[in-house]
């Protein structure tokens, strides 16, 4: 079911907003690190990253999500200085050479990286620890007027009921956001497919995704090329397009407003068909 219980009409971010319920928004993934699970190393050079951003915008991306640190299973954290060296030049070049109106999100778990990325021109902070990792992240989001993606994550991967536990996680994050002065209109929730979750956990979350509509907030879904698709189809990350499309279309039906993907053109087209049927 499409989420008809939203608290706000728009998802707001620095220098922009996204009207909710009218269409699905596509967030194109731009990894500028050497070790992401699917496209690591492809866009390390700022010229290649700029060309990729331009291509995704042409294909229909609404947001370019820039990440300088891989967060795949078993990843090794990198110092903030290295992460900044990777992401800031790319944000600067997009702003200078493409458009001042391009919506950019910074995919980071470090508050200082988020702050400097927002100063460079980002609009949204995409935090894999949902304001529960770096204790300064909420303050950075509040002071920079960022939109904030609060993603569910877990160190233990142990759940009594995964959706109930996820809701308690989000409630803690929302309390942190409220204390920091972040408006609910600037918040979207991400169930964190593949983060602190087994294959069965991921499938259950996707099958019960509509239960998260109870928060009245937009949902961002990121299933693109994830491991659970490879386990079902027995294929490599580069061969998981059909699985990504299927899981994301079901996500739209369940209430997702934003989809974070590698394959922008194909997902944009599939979402357009779904929107024409569902969002009337």
Annotated catalytic residue: which of 260, 268, 279, 280?
260
The top-scoring range by mean pLDDT among 31-35, 181-185, 276-280 is 181-185
Q: Which residues have a Cβ under 8 Å from the Cβ of 165 and sit 6 or more positions away?
A: 159
The pLDDT-based confidence of 157 (bands split at 50, 70, 90) is very high
Q: Which helix (H) or strand (E) holds 53?
A: helix 46-59
DSSP summary character for residue 41:
T
Q: Which residues have a Cβ under 8 Å from the Cβ of 276 and sit 6 or more positions away?
A: none
Q: What pLDDT was estimated at residue 130?
A: 98
The whole-number average pLDDT for the span 200-215 is 98
pLDDT value at 249 more than 60: yes
Percent of the chain with pLDDT over 70: 93
User: H helices of the chain, where?
Assistant: 46-59, 80-97, 111-120, 137-144, 162-180, 199-207, 227-233, 241-254, 264-278
Q: Which domains does the chain have, with CATH numbers?
A: 10-278 (3.20.20.20)
Q: What pLDDT was estimated at residue 38?
A: 52
The pLDDT-based confidence of 278 (bands split at 50, 70, 90) is very high
pLDDT value at 2 more than 70: no
CA distance linking residue 79 with residue 265, whole number of Å:
33
Contacts by 96-100, CB closer than 8 A, 24 or more apart: 97/50, 98/50, 98/53, 98/54, 98/57
CA distance linking residue 106 with residue 97, whole number of Å:
18
The whole-number average pLDDT for the span 239-255 is 97
The whole-number average pLDDT for the span 38-44 is 55
pLDDT value at 74 more than 70: no
Give 241's Cβ-side CA count (13 Å radius): 10
Question: Is residue 197 annotated as part of the catalytic site, yes or no?
Answer: no
Q: What pLDDT was estimated at residue 3?
A: 65
What are the tens digits of pLDDT across the range 107-119?
Answer: 999 999 999 999 9
For the beta carbon of residue 216, count every other beta carbon within 10 angstroms: 12
Q: How far apart are the first and last CA of the chain?
A: 13
DSSP summary character for residue 70:
-
Give the dihedral sign, CA 205/157/218/55. negative
Lowest average pLDDT, out of 3-7, 27-31, 208-212, goes to: 3-7
The pLDDT-based confidence of 6 (bands split at 50, 70, 90) is confident
The whole-number average pLDDT for the span 128-134 is 97
Question: Is residue 86 annotated as part of the catalytic site, yes or no?
Answer: no
Residue 92 corresponds to which tokens in the numbers above?
């600067």
Contact 21, 279 (CB under 8 A): yes
pLDDT value at 99 more than 90: no
Give 237's Cβ-side CA count (13 Å radius): 14
Contact 53, 64 (CB under 8 A): yes
The whole-number average pLDDT for the span 202-226 is 97
The pLDDT-based confidence of 77 (bands split at 50, 70, 90) is confident
Q: What pLDDT was estimated at residue 33?
A: 84
Annotated catalytic residue: which of 86, 226, 240, 268?
226
Q: What pLDDT was estimated at residue 73?
A: 66
The pLDDT-based confidence of 153 (bands split at 50, 70, 90) is very high
Query: At which residue do the structure tokens 């909710």 appear?
Result: 20
pLDDT value at 1 more than 90: no
Q: What is the mean pLDDT of the chain?
A: 93
How much is the pTM?
0.93
In this structure, the strands spanning 147-151 and 63-67 are: unpaired
């Amino acid at each position: 079911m499409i989420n008809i219980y939203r608290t706000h009409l728009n998802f707001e971010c620095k220098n922009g907003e996204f009207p909710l319920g009218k269409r699905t928004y596509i967030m194109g993934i731009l990894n500028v690190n050497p070790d992401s699970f699917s496209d690591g190393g492809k866009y390390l050079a700022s010229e290649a990253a700029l060309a990729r951003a331009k291509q995704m915008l042409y294909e229909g991306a609404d947001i370019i999500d820039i990440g300088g640190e891989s967060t795949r299973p078993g990843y090794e954290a990198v110092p903030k200085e290295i992460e900044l060296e990777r992401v800031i030049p790319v944000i600067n070049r997009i702003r200078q050479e493409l458009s001042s109106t391009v919506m950019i999100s910074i995919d980071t778990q470090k508050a200082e990286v988020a702050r400097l990325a927002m100063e460079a021109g980002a609009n949204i902070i995409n935090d894999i620890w949902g304001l529960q990792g770096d204790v300064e992240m909420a303050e950075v989001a509040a002071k920079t007027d960022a939109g904030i993606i609060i993603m569910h994550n877990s160190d233990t991967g142990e759940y009594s009921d995964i959706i109930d536990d996820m809701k308690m996680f989000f409630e803690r994050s929302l309390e942190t956001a409220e204390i920091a002065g972040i408006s609910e209109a600037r918040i979207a929730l991400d169930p964190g497919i593949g983060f602190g979750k087994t294959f069965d956990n991921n499938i259950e979350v996707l099958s019960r995704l509509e239960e998260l509509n109870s928060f009245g907030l937009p949902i961002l879904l990121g299933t693109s090329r994830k491991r659970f698709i490879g386990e079902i189809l027995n294929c490599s990350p580069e061969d998981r397009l059909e699985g990504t499309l299927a899981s994301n279309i079901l996500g739209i039906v369940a209430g997702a407003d934003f989809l974070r993907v590698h394959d922008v053109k194909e997902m944009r087209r599939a979402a357009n068909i779904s929107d024409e049927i569902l969002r009337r």
